[in-house]
Amino acid sequence: MGKAAVLSLAMVLPAAAQEVTIAALGDSLTQGYGLLQEDGFTAQLQDWLVARGHDVAILNAGVSGDTTAGGLARVGWTLTPDVDAMIVALGGNDLLRAIPPEASRANLEGILQAAEAAGVPVLLVGLTAPGNYGPEYQAAFDAMYPELAGAYGALHVESFLAPLSEAAEADRQGALTAYMQADGIHPNAAGVALIVEALGPEVERLIARAAGS
């Protein structure tokens, strides 16, 4: 085949889609605490997306016990040149330590600013605060995720654990047995699958943003 024929063929064939690399910046929920590697959040999410036809790699940037401050400290080297998009799922350990919401908010904003500077779209996954810290704390914590997502044009999911909370509303003891590890804090493999099923469509939107469509 001559050069002209090769050139003509290249012009009519669709360009091959490029693999989209997504870094998942988070804590033990992202890291897959207590689970086999293949049962963790990032592995199950990648499998779910690949099964739906996406050419995607999910990088596990979760660190067990990490706070929003830890995420901010790590975001610079998480956003390597090959990262096309980022999931940010932090705040649970801030809650456990009763860190003031204004501090958590500033850390999350720093993460979003770093992503914006790198030209990387973000899916910001929140959590809902319990009422035991008082209504002002709860309101400030819950509001920071949608407000920051709006300010920085990020995609937003209200709560990482929403599918498990919904299951618990129907049958708390049954949900604990079916979806949670023995510590009652971290999801088991079935619980992660439920979370992935709920988050997956929003990650597909993130992929579309990363691909520029």
Angle of the 172-179 helix axis to the 189-210 helix axis, nearest 10: 80
13 contacts: CB under 8 Å, gap ≥ 6: none
Q: Is residue 11 part of a domain?
A: no
pLDDT (tens place) for every residue of the chain, 213 residues total: 554 443 444 444 444 458 999 999 999 999 999 999 999 999 999 999 999 999 999 999 999 999 999 999 999 999 999 999 999 999 999 999 999 999 999 999 999 999 999 999 999 999 999 899 999 999 999 999 999 999 999 999 999 988 888 776 666 777 677 888 998 889 999 999 999 999 999 999 999 999 984
CATH of the domain at 42: 3.40.50.1110
Task: Give Dmax over CA atoms of the chain in angstroms.
Answer: 75
Measured CA to CA, the distance from residue 150 to residue 173 in angstroms comes to 36
Half-sphere exposure of 65 (CA within 13 A, CB side): 0
Count of the separate structural domains present in the chain: 1
For every residue of the chain, which 3-state class applies, written as one string? Answer: CCHHHHHHHHHHCCCCCCCEEEEEEECHHHHCCCCCHHHCHHHHHHHHHHHCCCCEEEEEEECCCCCHHHHHHHHHHHCCCCCCEEEEECCHHHHHCCCCHHHHHHHHHHHHHHHHHHCCCEEEECCCCCHHHCHHHHHHHHHHHHHHHHHHCCEEECCCCHHHHHHHHHCHHHHHHHHECCCCCCECHHHHHHHHHHHHHHHHHHHHHHCCC
Tell me whether residue 10 is in a domain: no
Q: Is 183 a catalytic residue?
A: yes
- Single-letter amino acid code for the residue at 87: I
Residue 13 resides in a domain? no
CA angle centred on 26, ends 21 and 31, rounded to 5°: 85
* Structural domain of 38: 19-210
Q: Catalytic pick from 8, 66, 183, 213? A: 183
Q: What tokens were used for 3? A: 């050069």
Active site residue 142: no
Known catalytic residue at 54? no
pLDDT at 169 (0 to 100): 67
pLDDT of residue 170: 67
Asked whether residue 94 is assigned to any structural domain, the reply reads: yes
Q: Is residue 14 part of a domain?
A: no
Name the catalytic one among 8, 27, 28, 156.
28
Give residue 12's pLDDT.
Answer: 44
> Does residue 2 fall inside a structural domain?
no
